[in-house]
Chain A
Amino acid sequence: MLHNIKYELFIRMRAKGLVFWMILFPVALGAFFKISFSNIYDEYTSFSTVPAAVVENVENPVFHTVTDEISKEDNPLLEVTYTDKEDALTLLKEQKVSGIIWLDEEVSLSVASDSIEATILESFLNQYKRQEKIITDTLETNPAALESVISEMNSETESCVRIPLTEGNTDNLLNYYYNLIAMVALFGSEGGLEAAIRNQGNLSAVAARKGTSPAKKSVTLLSSLISACIVQALCCALTVTYVNFILKINFGGSLPFVYLSGLIGSVLGVSLGFMIGSIGKAGENAKTGICMAVSLASCFFSGLMVNTMKPMIIEKAPWFNDINPAALISDAFYCLNVYSDYSRYIQKNITMIILSVLMAAIGFILTRRRKYASL
């Protein structure tokens, strides 16, 4: 068995297709994502300080005090500019500020469009209005406590905008990288297909030679599958490592789980290819084509290509996502990304393991025969 696994590993590691599809392609695609999304990341990450113009038609020392206190912080929520109405409107038109705060008898807000910054300003003003009395009283009775009151208000405003669902990175763009890893895992179907073909005497000469040897078919098949899983898992781990450590994409605290799902997904991919390679009497080329078509269809229905597909499948045929390998792999990552507890993540991984065992068993049953009607 070890002899077989050793050489099966050599064979797979030296395959030219492996270097391109399992290593270079994901690296290039990951780099492409990184470059493409860098602008979007800047937009997302620079909203912490919101520029705002303040037009003080009625003198408001309390608001002055609040904005002064806020601007003292290391990472201030607001960057306010006190100005007149004309200047403020010009700044808003030129998008140099996200909104105008009008200090009249009542404090009000004007924004140019709906945006995250506008939401922050609105939230801040709501907080201010609710706590204006407290701030006024604090100024009069205990000015030393003012800083902590404003700080509290600041943090509440932030919490209204950022709702952490998990300890992980809730960035939606992360899904693209998860999909990339899922795709690499599903590429394992190619390795599984090879394992099936290289053990069927009617499909390859080396399989015929193996078939004439005293080596048990179960041993040669298992060796092929184990080596395919090892190589696939390594490639998947390499992709995760590259995305996390080279591209600096933060998976939050879920990195070990990303590796784990990559491993299980790789086994699932290999099992899928093995099962496809074992079905029917079609030749190697036909089976490769079928395997590719099934993998692409699996990716398509899981929403890896068209993001509206997944909600549609959930609505029309939710059961399909539980047998669709690509959907299972991406869902496992999605669960890591969205849910704070791991129950759904564990459920998805267990489903993947069950499906892998099932597909591998079907493959074994179909390839166990040793005599063929024609060679």
Chain B
Amino acid sequence: MAETIVKIENLVKRYKDLIAVDHLNLEIKKGEVYGLLGPNGSGKSTTINSMLSLLAYDKGSIEIFGKEMTPVSYDIKKKIGIIMQDVAVFDELTVYENIDYFCGLYIKDKETRKKYVTDAVNFTGLNDFLKFYPKKLSGGLLRRLNIACGIAHKPELIILDEPTVAVDPQSRNKILEGIQELNRNGATIIYTSHYMEEVEQICTRIAIMDKGRKIAEGTKEELKRMIKNTETITVETENVPDEILSRINDLSHVYETEQSEGRLIIRCGGGKHNLIRVLSVLQEAELNFGRVYTELPTLNDVFLEITGKVLRDREE
């Protein structure tokens, strides 16, 4: 049984009448990449800030490394690295100086610190930008600097709060690969995001949050098994007659059809060869159609089915 690194019990945080975190329970084991997935305002950052003792909470308890977390738990804080949602670096310090400054808050020995800073620079690929000031860095490089400042002291628990917001795809991939490498090197990771693809890609266990509550938890496979949908078939076609729609609905394992924007969407729950059976119906009816594709359920489907709303807009 892996050691418990973080244990949150019945955490409640209110902002006047609004309940930001509603009786939340979490248990995160050593070596996990634990994802907190939820739309903006679902309580992810509030949970993180409460965990770090930055935010006062109304009820509940938080234990990290088996000890109660308080603002003066310096021994616990030494083992934690935090990458904030907002880039938290000094504009007046260069890349190297920023990393050295924040590392210096944890590591007193000069030689050790120098080595750690060099490791962080290499890890984040900032070698060519050491003398750059943050304002001269692109959004992606700035995020990498933010990460370097949070991990330079080689923490055992790394908390990343939406680290890829407003980052280009190339930098995002680099960041995600880096997080997986940190995990391989032994760090336990807590990763919050509203990007389901990222969470699916890197997290070993996921908690889905909405309105301050944990609405589901498990591996991505476990989460997907919780819902009815196992396959979504999309057919590009216009105006499918009601008769044909009825025949498709009558197919076994098809539980829902939907027509919108020149597409026919067919949702299936279980069964095999659903696509072949749908195509047979369409061909028999001599209906013209374009592309046909099938998708396995995503975490968005999980979120949709549980809450009745999409996790985030497609434009985001």
* Smallest CB gap from A13: residue in B: B92
The yes or no answer to A321 lying at the interface (CB within 8 A) is no
Query: What chain B residues lie within 8 Å of A3 (beta carbons)?
Result: 101, 104, 108
Q: How far is the CB of B42 from chain A (nearest CB, A)?
A: 16
User: A375–B93 contact, CB under 8 A?
Assistant: no
User: A371–B102 contact, CB under 8 A?
Assistant: no
A214 to B89, CA, bound (A): 17
- Identify which of B48-56, B279-287, B307-315 touches chain A: B48-56
A14 to B89, CA, bound (A): 15
Proximity bits, A275-312, B CB within 8 Å = 1, else 0: 00000000000000000000000000000000000000
* Smallest CB gap from A3: residue in B: B104
A15 to B86, CA, bound (A): 21
Proximity bits, A207-218, B CB within 8 Å = 1, else 0: 011111111100
User: A210–B105 contact, CB under 8 A?
Assistant: yes
User: A370–B97 contact, CB under 8 A?
Assistant: no
User: A371–B84 contact, CB under 8 A?
Assistant: no
Q: How far is the CB of B222 from chain A (nearest CB, A)?
A: 31
User: B105–A372 contact, CB under 8 A?
Assistant: no
- Identify which of A4-12, A130-138, A239-247, A353-361 touches chain B: A4-12
User: B86–A213 contact, CB under 8 A?
Assistant: no
User: B77–A212 contact, CB under 8 A?
Assistant: yes
Query: What chain B residues lie within 8 Å of A12 (beta carbons)?
Result: 92
The yes or no answer to B74 lying at the interface (CB within 8 A) is yes
Q: How far is the CB of B102 from chain A (nearest CB, A)?
A: 7
Proximity bits, B212-246, A CB within 8 Å = 1, else 0: 00000000000000000000000000000000000
Query: What chain A residues lie within 8 Å of B203 (beta carbons)?
Result: none
Q: How far is the CB of B104 from chain A (nearest CB, A)?
A: 4
The yes or no answer to B132 lying at the interface (CB within 8 A) is no
Query: What chain A residues lie within 8 Å of B75 (beta carbons)?
Result: 214
* Given A213-B77, A214-B74, A371-B71, CB of A11 within 8 Å of CB of B52: no
* Smallest CB gap from B20: residue in A: A374
The yes or no answer to B78 lying at the interface (CB within 8 A) is yes
Proximity bits, A177-217, B CB within 8 Å = 1, else 0: 00000000000000000000000010001101111111110
Q: How far is the CB of A222 from chain B (nearest CB, A)?
A: 14
Tell me the B36-51 residues at the A interface (CB within 8 Å): 49
* Smallest CB gap from A215: residue in B: B105
User: B92–A372 contact, CB under 8 A?
Assistant: no
Tell me the A216-255 residues at the B interface (CB within 8 Å): 216, 220
User: A214–B86 contact, CB under 8 A?
Assistant: no
The yes or no answer to B80 lying at the interface (CB within 8 A) is yes
User: A201–B54 contact, CB under 8 A?
Assistant: yes
A371 to B49, CA, bound (A): 9
B49, B53, B56, B150 interface centre (most CB from chain A within 10 Å)? B49
* Smallest CB gap from A202: residue in B: B54
The yes or no answer to A40 lying at the interface (CB within 8 A) is no
Query: What chain A residues lie within 8 Å of B72 (beta carbons)?
Result: 370
A215 to B93, CA, bound (A): 19
Tell me the B59-96 residues at the A interface (CB within 8 Å): 71-72, 74-75, 77-78, 80, 82, 84, 86-90, 92-93
Q: How far is the CB of B144 from chain A (nearest CB, A)?
A: 16
User: B88–A10 contact, CB under 8 A?
Assistant: no
Tell me the B101-158 residues at the A interface (CB within 8 Å): 101-102, 104-106, 108, 149-150
- Report the interface size class on chain A: 20 to 34
A10 to B53, CA, bound (A): 29
A208 to B105, CA, bound (A): 13
Contact partner of B54 (CB less than 8 A), chosen from A14, A206, A208, A216, is: A208
Q: How far is the CB of A21 from chain B (nearest CB, A)?
A: 15
User: A214–B102 contact, CB under 8 A?
Assistant: no
The yes or no answer to A373 lying at the interface (CB within 8 A) is yes
B15, B72, B101 interface centre (most CB from chain A within 10 Å)? B101
Tell me the A38-92 residues at the B interface (CB within 8 Å): none
* Given A7-B93, A206-B90, A374-B15, CB of A214 within 8 Å of CB of B106: yes
User: A7–B82 contact, CB under 8 A?
Assistant: no
* Smallest CB gap from B87: residue in A: A205
Contact partner of B93 (CB less than 8 A), chosen from A10, A212, A216, A370, is: A10
Q: How far is the CB of B92 from chain A (nearest CB, A)?
A: 4
Query: What chain A residues lie within 8 Å of B93 (beta carbons)?
Result: 7, 10-11, 14
Contact partner of A209 (CB less than 8 A), chosen from B56, B78, B84, is: B84
User: B80–A212 contact, CB under 8 A?
Assistant: yes
A10, A210, A212 interface centre (most CB from chain B within 10 Å)? A212
Query: What chain A residues lie within 8 Å of B88 (beta carbons)?
Result: 205-206, 208-209
Contact partner of B77 (CB less than 8 A), chosen from A14, A214, A371, A375, is: A214
A93 to B132, CA, bound (A): 72
A7 to B97, CA, bound (A): 8
User: A375–B106 contact, CB under 8 A?
Assistant: no
* Smallest CB gap from A11: residue in B: B92
User: B92–A375 contact, CB under 8 A?
Assistant: no
* Given A10-B93, A10-B97, A206-B88, CB of A371 within 8 Å of CB of B105: no
Q: What are 23 inter-chain pairs, A to B, with CB distance below 8 A?
A: A3-B108, A10-B92, A10-B93, A10-B97, A15-B92, A205-B84, A206-B88, A209-B84, A212-B52, A213-B77, A213-B102, A214-B75, A214-B77, A214-B105, A215-B106, A371-B53, A371-B54, A371-B71, A372-B56, A373-B56, A374-B15, A374-B55, A375-B55
**Pairs of residues from A and B, 8 with the lowest C-beta to C-beta distance, nearest first:** A370-B71, A205-B88, A213-B105, A214-B74, A14-B92, A209-B88, A205-B86, A371-B56
Residues of B whose CB lies within 8 Å of any CB of A are: 15, 49, 52-56, 71-72, 74-75, 77-78, 80, 82, 84, 86-90, 92-93, 97, 100-102, 104-106, 108, 149-150
